[in-house]
Amino acid sequence: MSTTQVDKSAPSERARKIGGMYRTYWLVMLVAVVALSLVRIATGADDITAANTLRAAILSACPILLAGMGGLWSERAGIVNIGLEGQMLLGTWGAAYFTYNYGPWVGLLGAAAMGALGGLLHGLATITFGVDHIVSGVAINIIGLGATTFLAEAFFSDYQYGGPRQLTGLDGLPFVTVPGLSDGLKSLNDQGWFVISDLAGLLAALTTKVSVVTILIAVIVVLTAWILWHTSFGLRLRSCGENPAAAESLGVNVYRYKYVAVLVSGGLAGLGGAFLALVAASGFTTNQSNGRGYIGLAAMIFGNWNPFGTLGASLLFGYTDALRLRSPSAVHALLLVVAIGLLAYAAWRFYQGARTSAIVLGLIGAAFLVWFLTTDTVPREFTGMTPYVVTLLVLALASQRLRPPAADGQVYRKGSAG
């Protein structure tokens, strides 16, 4: 049969596309590392690629990433979930309550369950009752904050190390260090060699005192990518976000997939809450997520509704957060990184023939360069703004390239097929 002939060409087309995606991903990573390394050497701000900084960046990134993954799951099924913040808060409470009573592993499950409960509420409102997704999300955020504050006061006041607004001393989860490798990489990191030391810093961060939850999150990211793009379950789930009527006409139970998606979404946000209460520090306080749910959503958009894109964006936000807290002075060096990045991107756009956008980008890049050259520090307030400003800039510059699922945010009613 001639099918064999077609068979050969088709996968290669597919493979080429996927390969291309990963190639750009790696290319961007490489450029970032080189730029950081250059800037480190030029400015002497060793902290910007120190293993410990990167480790802290990963820790800061994890809750954002989990929220982002939560957003990804629901939006891929067509449900916008800005209730992530509230679900994350429910997760912080669940983690605290269940860890205190049953230990940290049950705590993780409890956090996911509380988050999923918030997801269920969102699902009921948006799927069954067809309420606007943003409206429901806003309401869930109000409920999430009120409920965790109320429940904390009701339950934690009488606990040991507890109070109406906090519960500390929760049992932690284990860490993993790769023996040998970790130390070797760290000393390599200290050498200050071009690129090699920086990469060693990154690898050291990945092999030193890594929380099992961080590993779990890495697994979640990979699993998400695999489930959504390589299983029939994922195909069905995504079809609900692209064209639910078509999915239903082919026998897909759209409501069920949307519910699964929004439950997973809430559960992941809840896990993000657990990360804050159990791993990032060992204690619960009220309103602990403090906007990380929203940043997770921003990371997902920034990452173009793609798990690895979301990972990259979360790491970026986590990195600026960690650097701001650990070495505010090194933030100044980042100005140079931004300037180089923008100028490089401008050159690339120019090469592609997009003159005006290249000029705009180039001017912004030059402004950053001037800022770097004429100052010694960045006002500390501004470093705190980084994730927000970066998000706005990315959206402003790249919104045309972003591609949300076609039926994202639309209310779908059963029986609309045909």
Partner 1 sequence: SSSDSDGGDKASDNTSASASASADVCKDADGDGPKIGLAYDVGGRGDQSFNDSAYAGVAKAVDELDATCLEGEAQDAEPESAREDRLRQMADAGANAVVGVGFAYSDAINAVAPDYPDVNFGVVDGFDPDDKPNDNVAYFSFAANEASFLVGVAAAEKTASKQVGFVGGVHNDLIKGFEAGFTAGVKAVDPSIKVDVAYIEESDLSGFNDPAGGKTAAAGEFDKGADVVYHASGASGSGIFDAAVEAGDGNWAIGVDSDQYLTATADQQPHILTSALKRVDVATFDFIKSVADGSPKTSYVTYDLKNDGVGYSTSGGFVDDIKADIDGYADKIKSGEIKVPTAP
Partner 2 sequence: MNSLKRVGFALLAPVIAVLIAVLATSVVIAASGSDSSAGDFWSVILSKPDNRLLVNILNQTTMIYLAAVAAAIGFRMGLFNIGVEGQYLLASYTAATFAGAALLPGALNIMATLVIAMAVGAIWAGIAGILRTTRGVSEVISTIMLNSIALILVGYLLDRYGLHGGNQVRTKDLPESSQLAGWLPFERPDGPIWTLGLLAVAVGVGFWVLLNKTRFGFDLRATGLSQTAAVASGIKVDRMVLISMLLSGAVAGLIWMPAYFGSAHTYGTTFQAGLGFTGIAVALLGRNQPVGMVFGAVLFAFLSTQSNTLTFQTDISPSIVQITQGVAVLAVVIAYELVRRYRIRLEQRTVARARTAPVQEVTA
Partner 3 sequence: MPAAPPAPGASSTEAVIEAPEVRLIGIGKRFPGVIANHDVEVTIRPATVHALIGENGAGKSTLMKILYGVQKPDDGTIEVGGTERSFRTPTDAIGVGIGMVFQHFMLADNLTALENAVLGAEKLHGIGDKARAEFESISERYGFGLRPDVLVEKLGVADRQRLEILKVLFRGAKVLILDEPTAVLVPQEVDALFANLRDLRAHGHSILFISHKLDEVLAIADDITVMRRGTTVGSAVPGEVTKQELAEMMVGSELPSPETSESTVTDVVQLSLSGVTLTDDAGRDLLSDISFDIHRGEILGIAGVEGNGQAELVETVMGMRRLTSGRILLGEEDVTDWDTRRLRESGVGYIPEDRHRHGLLLDSPLWENRILGHQTRPPSVKGPWINRSGARKDTRRIVDEYDVRTPGIDTVARALSGGNQQKLIIGREMSGDPVLLIASHPTRGVDVGAQAAIWSHIKRARHDGLAVLLISADLDELIGLSDRIEVILRGRMVGTFDPAGVTPKDLGAAMTGGGEA
DSSP 8-state assignment for residue 176:
E
Nearer to partner 3, 380 or 414 (CB): 414
Contact 56, 326 (CB under 8 A): yes
Cα(270)–Cα(359) distance, integer angstroms = 43
Q: 187-211 burial by CB neighbour count: b if 16+ within 10 A, else e?
A: ebbeeeeebebbbbbbbbbbbbebb
For the chain, what is the largest distance between any 2 Cα atoms, rounded to a whole number of angstroms? 75
By CB under 8 A, tell whether 354 contacts partner 2. no
| CB proximity list for 108: less than 8 A, separation 6 or greater | 95, 173, 213, 271, 274, 278
The footprint of partner 3 on residues 370-409 (CB under 8 A) is 400, 403, 405-406
Burial of residue 253 (CB within 10 Å: 0-12, 13-18, 19+) is middle
Applying CB under 8 A, among 33, 35, 138, 212 the residue interacting with partner 2 is 138
Q: How far is the CB of 64 from partner 3 (least distance, A)?
A: 26
Cα(417)–Cα(245) distance, integer angstroms = 5
x/- map, 230-269, partner 1, by CB under 8 A: ----------------------------------------
301 binds, among partner 3, partner 1, partner 2, none (CB under 5 to 8 A by kind): partner 2
Number of H helices, E strands in the chain: 16, 4
Q: Is 79 helix (H, G, I), strand (E, B) or coil?
A: coil
The footprint of partner 3 on residues 221-240 (CB under 8 A) is 230-232, 235-236, 238-239
By CB under 8 A, tell whether 3 contacts partner 3. yes
Applying CB under 8 A, among 385, 406, 414, 416 the residue interacting with partner 2 is 385
By CB under 8 A, tell whether 19 contacts partner 3. no
x/- map, 65-104, partner 1, by CB under 8 A: ----------------------------------------
Cα(47)–Cα(41) distance, integer angstroms = 11
By CB under 8 A, tell whether 320 contacts partner 1. no
Establish how many alpha carbons lie within 13 A of residue 207's alpha carbon, considering only the half-sphere containing its beta carbon. 16
x/- map, 203-222, partner 2, by CB under 8 A: --------------------
Cα(276)–Cα(171) distance, integer angstroms = 13
Nearer to partner 1, 123 or 162 (CB): 162
Q: Which stretch binds partner 3 (CB under 8 A): 127-135, 200-208, 245-253, 344-352?
A: 245-253
Q: How far is the CB of 129 from partner 2 (least distance, A)?
A: 4
Cα(218)–Cα(234) distance, integer angstroms = 19
Token digits for 403? 């591609």
Token digits for 19? 């390969």
x/- map, 26-65, partner 1, by CB under 8 A: ------------------------x-xx--x--xx--x--
Q: 356-377 burial by CB neighbour count: b if 16+ within 10 A, else e?
A: eebeebbebbeebbeebeeeee
Q: How far is the CB of 58 from partner 1 (least distance, A)?
A: 11
Cα(141)–Cα(90) distance, integer angstroms = 10
Token digits for 86? 């509230």
By CB under 8 A, tell whether 151 contacts partner 2. yes
By CB under 8 A, tell whether 247 contacts partner 3. yes
Residues that bind partner 1 (CB under 8 A): 50, 52-53, 56, 59-60, 63, 149, 153, 157-158, 161-166, 168-169, 209, 276, 280-283, 285-288, 290, 321-322, 325-328, 380-381, 384
Residues that bind partner 2 (CB under 8 A): 82, 121, 125, 129-132, 134-136, 138-147, 149-151, 153-155, 164, 291, 294, 297-298, 301, 379, 381-382, 384-385, 388-389, 391-392, 395-397, 399-400
Residues that bind partner 3 (CB under 8 A): 1-3, 6-7, 10-11, 13-14, 17, 230-232, 235-236, 238-239, 242-243, 245-253, 400, 403, 405-406, 415, 417-418
